[in-house]
Structure 1
């Protein structure tokens, strides 16, 4: 693989400009706007995460290219509307990373863990830009729900609003589960299950477990075991009784644990 200079991103910008040319470009690309492209941007970010989880470096290279295309696409639309250019995006993030790492780029640079300093600088920058004085300001509504819950809790915890240990969090989960059981309407059930999920994310945060990664692993486990059940039963799987399916599920679990 050839080594590329940072300037080599510009041919991608040229391709994007051609695709968005009102006279000679691609009709589909021309018709898009920020809102229509945003779901693709989110999807590509998840595909990057999936490639990392599978430790597939060839796929990761490909998916990072797809994600980079999203940056070029949004930047080109912004340039056409007179807002900013791809170069502005590159310059902005370069300056931000330099500004937020004074322990690396500052006059008195020294090798240390700069996470606390990063958060302090980030908070100061946010205070300058945000009209919302809340500690929760800037936690984007569009984030995946599990991730947003975790970020909201972390922000609240910085103000001292947090459980001192996991005991209180677990008690809260039990309380929320009881409220789910007691709910009598669909609206109440929806609300209480939301509270329950929020409390579970809180427990994951206290235990330093990434809730999104944990749920992905749970999904993968279910997928793997269910497929094993289907393979064991063959074409008659759907016709089996629930008890028979449960037996197959337990077999699948035992097979996974067998060295």
Structure 2
């Protein structure tokens, strides 16, 4: 047995021990429903580690996520619904089946052809299961809104429903922005909410058309804003000022100073 296999089995045994009658009370009371939140949290912690490009942190978070996956499997295995072997066998068979250009004799000439083949195989799988699904149905509604919008925009573009060029997509953003202006001036709160959603979706489509990951772009913008705001607070603290004491014009001047200082700090160069 290889060291990796030994460690993997040891982890399974640890989880089994935690769930045993004399194990950990917290682990014993978990259900698939109660455990979902921890799975989501660990996934986001791994994503943050990847964004930070910290190998040691990524290694740690991968371990945490692996624990979550095996623990969740154990909850179902205890009910004799399926085993870890079933899970591994299922994904192994699926990956081989969906890569005939690797494990078979098919050839692929382009990424577009690869995507089409992947979707065709998925459709065939769903038909064999007796419940064919539209490609949009496979996009989880529980995804973060921006990520879900990106996936939907990408999926329909593969079907041929797409703007012919970047200028057209940008024109749609301008159109939706004008409609939002009109809603603020003449519409109800419901109208404003709808038009704001339309504008956000149009921006998502524009990002895809520009080959930019909107989720990453928004994260970067939020991080930049947070960095500038923290600098703003430091400047105001040194000057003994508070937000309530400043007129909008004075606050804007300090904000411009904070932007300059934050963006030229050594750690951002």
2:135 aligned counterpart, secondary structure: coil
Higher mean C-alpha deviation, range 127-136 or range 27-36: 127-136
Q: What's the counterpart of residue 228 of structure 1?
A: 231
Alignment check: 8 A CA contact 1:130 1:137 kept = no
1:230 aligned counterpart, secondary structure: helix
Q: CA deviation at 1:89?
A: 1.7
Distance 2:223 2:11 in 1: 35
Distance 1:77 1:193 in 2: 42
Matches within 5 A, 1:176-255: 176-183=176-183, 184-234=187-237, 236-238=241-243, 239-255=245-261
CA offsets 1:110-162 (integer angstroms, 9 cap, x no match):
79877434444334334444725433121111111111111112221222222
TM-score (norm 2): 0.84
Q: What's the counterpart of residue 30 of structure 2?
A: 32
CA offsets 1:214-257 (integer angstroms, 9 cap, x no match):
11101110011111111122152433333222212212333325
Q: What's the counterpart of residue 61 of structure 2?
A: 63
Distance 2:169 2:110 in 1: 29
TM-score (norm 1): 0.87
Alignment check: 8 A CA contact 1:41 1:67 kept = yes
1:104 aligned counterpart, secondary structure: helix
Alignment check: 8 A CA contact 1:229 1:245 kept = no
Higher mean C-alpha deviation, range 66-75 or range 245-254: 245-254
Distance 1:93 1:62 in 2: 24
The aligned length equals 255
Q: CA deviation at 1:9?
A: 2.0
Unaligned stretches of 5+ residues in structure 1 = none
Unaligned stretches of 5+ residues in structure 2 = none
Over the residues paired in the alignment, what is the CA RMSD in angstroms?
2.5
CA offsets 1:154-191 (integer angstroms, 9 cap, x no match):
22122222211122222221222222223332222222
Distance 2:109 2:164 in 1: 28
- Are residues 15 and 173 of structure 1, via their aligned partners in 2, closer, same or farther at CA, if it must alter by over 3 Å? same
1:137 aligned counterpart, secondary structure: helix
